Structures are given as C-alpha cells and as structure tokens.
Amino acid sequence: MELSNRDPALQLGDAKYLMAMLGPEAGATLVDSWKLPAVVGMCIQFVGEFSDAPDNQDEVATVEAGRGVAVALRQDSLDPEQIVEMAAVQHLNLYPEDVEEVLGKAEQITLALESMVL
C-alpha cells in the first residue's frame, strides 16, 4: 500500500520510510503529522548545516554536536580535541572543559540510550 493511501497518522515505520526516501525534507511531514514543535523539524532539516537554519541555530547546533559525538563513539574514535573543533561546538561556545565533562559521561549516556526502545 502506498504511503498516500494510508491512514493520515504516521507510524514509526512510516517515519523510517520517509527519512530513507526523502532525507531531511521528511522532517516537515513528520512535524505536521505528529504535531511536533517546529524546532524539531528545523533540527531534522538542517542538522549537518546548522548555520543554514533560518531559526533555532543554537538548537540545531546542539543536535549536530550530539550527532558528532555519537558517531565518534560508535566508531571508537572519540577525540575530545576534534569535538571541540567542530563548528557546532564552536558556535555553542563550549569550552574544552565543558566538552571533557560531557565526554566523561559518555558511558552513562550510551547505556541510557541503549535502554530506550523505539
């Protein structure tokens, strides 16, 4: 069954399909369908290019920085100096000691995220 012929309430599987097929542009569809705050759509659409976001650049930069840390953790290549040098981290004006503090909690964060079920 095509997505356009389905019940208008999107399910998680629909969201994954939209993200795979449409990429970041799917954010607007999800925000509308699930009545999410506009900032969520802005983060979905502009993560990776936070400086292009017309609004909510700080929030998008926060998501982008978090994504960078998550990727580094997954690849076992977490280098605090590289994290500090990220454009999103610079935009947020995070100091090296702030980054070190967050990275020091990486194991706790990873365990909390792994315990969540979508």
Confidence of residue 3 (pLDDT cuts 50, 70, 90): very low
Euclidean distance between CA atoms 7 and 10, whole angstroms: 7
DSSP state of 6: S
Most confident of 43-47, 74-78, 86-90, 104-108: 86-90
pTM strictly above 0.75: no
| CB atoms inside a 10 Å sphere around CB 86 | 19
DSSP state of 9: S
Query: Is-contact 60 51, C-beta < 8 A?
Result: no
Confidence of residue 103 (pLDDT cuts 50, 70, 90): confident
The 10s digit of each residue's pLDDT in 41-82 is 889 889 889 999 999 999 999 999 999 888 888 888 778 899
